[in-house]
Structure 1
Amino acid sequence: MKVQLLVSKWCPTCPQAEKIWTEAAQRVPMEFEILDVAERKGREVASRLRIRTVPAVVIDDVLKMVGAQPLADVLKVLGV
């Protein structure tokens, strides 16, 4: 499973989402990366999937969530 968390430096909730998804990545086997939408790779993913808000979670090239969710909700999305 490939999980990408799209964030931005100006986003007030992105640090919370980064913390939660980093913890989830330590518990669940996955390929995990954090992408800043101000950088090329993050812009490409956001543009391809028409993502207009951050934080946004992309799992296997499908937008699954926006905003910061509690760890329990994140683990449910990951099938735990």
Structure 2
Amino acid sequence: MPNITLLVSPTCGACPSAKSLWKQLRVKYSFSYREVDITTQDGQELANRHSVRAVPATIIDGRLTFVGVPSRESAEKALQLKMKPRE
């Protein structure tokens, strides 16, 4: 199951759209999801580790995958690449 971390900021105008997208995709796909405020210590550590300079930023399985709001198609494609086939 993929692990999605979304780095956000309370002052970010695009972050609500990114949050909404990932929450909608959780209905269709099984993945763990967490939102991290970039102004917190945890958020700063993640941003430094992944060289994040803008939010929203999506980290999938420990890898910075999107900066900004991804298209639904791009987000689904990234998830499908991480999904294990059902046996």
Structure 2 length normalisation: TM-score? 0.84
Partner of 1:33: 34
Query: Are residues 1:22 and 2:23 paired?
Result: yes
For structure 2, list consecutive stretches of 5 or more residues without a partner in the other structure.
82-87
Partner-residue secondary structure (3-state), 1:78: helix
Q: CA deviation at 1:66?
A: 0.8
Partner of 1:57: 58
Partner of 1:47: 48
Partner of 2:85: none
Q: CA RMSD in A?
A: 1.3
Q: Which runs of 4+ in 1 moved over 4 A?
A: none
**Matched positions, count:** 80
For structure 1, list consecutive stretches of 5 or more residues without a partner in the other structure.
none
In structure 2, give the amino acid aligned to 1:29: S
- Paired-residue identity, %: 31
Q: Larger Cα Rg: Structure 1 or Structure 2? A: 2
